[in-house]
Chain A
Amino acid sequence: MAGVTLDTVRKVYAGNVEAVKGVSLGIEDGSFCVLVGPSGCGKSTLLRMIAGLETISGGAIKIGDRVVNEVEPADRDIAMVFQNYALYPHMSVYDNMAYGLKNRGTPKDEIEKRVKEAARILAIEPFLDRKPRALSGGQRQRVAMGRAIVRKPQVFLFDEPLSNLDAKLRVQMRVEIKRLQRALGVTSVYVTHDQVEAMTLSDKLVVMSGGQIEQVGTPADVYRRPETRFVATFIGSPPMNILPGKVEGPGRVSVGGQMVNVTDMREGLAPGSAIEVGLRPEDVQAGTTGNSTLTMDVDFVEELGATQLFHGKVAGAEFVVQASTGQLAADTRSLTLAVDPQNVHLFDPQTTKRLGRQI
Chain B
Amino acid sequence: MEKRALFSNKLLPYMLLVPQLIITLVFFYWPASQALWQSFLLEDAFGLSSEFVGFENYRTLFQQPEYYRAMVTTAIFSSAVAVLALSCALLLATQADKKLKAAQAFKTFLIWPYAVAPAIAGVLWIFMFHPTLGTLARPIKATGVDWNPMLNANHAMLLLILSATWKQISYNFLFFLAGLQAIPKSVIEAAAIDGSGPIRRFWTIVFPLLSPTTFFLIVVNIVYVFFDTFGIIDAVTGGGPAGRTTTLVYKVYADGRLGGDLGGSAAQSVILMVIVIALTAVQFKFVERRVQY
Contact = CB atoms under 8 A, between A and B. Distances in A.
Contact of B191 (A99, A131, A133, A151): A99
Interface in A60-93: 72-74, 78-80, 82-84, 86-91
Say what secondary structure dominates the interface of chain A: loop
B192 A90 contact: no
Given A86-B187, A88-B187, A53 B209 contact: no
B184 A99 contact: no
B49 interface: no
Contacts of A74: 192-197
User: How large, as a class, is the contact surface on chain B?
Assistant: 10 to 19
A91 B293 CA distance: 7
Interface in B158-195: 184, 186-187, 189-195
A53 B192 contact: yes
Contact of A103 (B189, B200, B209): B200
Contacts of A357: none
Contacts of A222: none
Interface string B191-214: 111111100100011001100000
Given A53-B189, A89-B209, A89-B293, A84 B194 contact: no
A204 B88 CA distance: 52
Nearest to B208: A90
Interface in B234-269: none
A131 B293 CA distance: 7
Nearest to A133: B293
Nearest to B207: A90
A104 interface: yes
B198 to A, nearest CB: 10
A3 interface: no
A100 interface: yes
B193 A51 contact: yes
B195 A104 contact: yes
A52 B190 CA distance: 11
Contacts of B186: 82-84, 86
A100 B187 contact: no
13 contacts: A53-B189, A72-B192, A73-B192, A74-B194, A83-B186, A86-B189, A88-B187, A90-B208, A90-B209, A90-B293, A99-B204, A100-B195, A131-B293
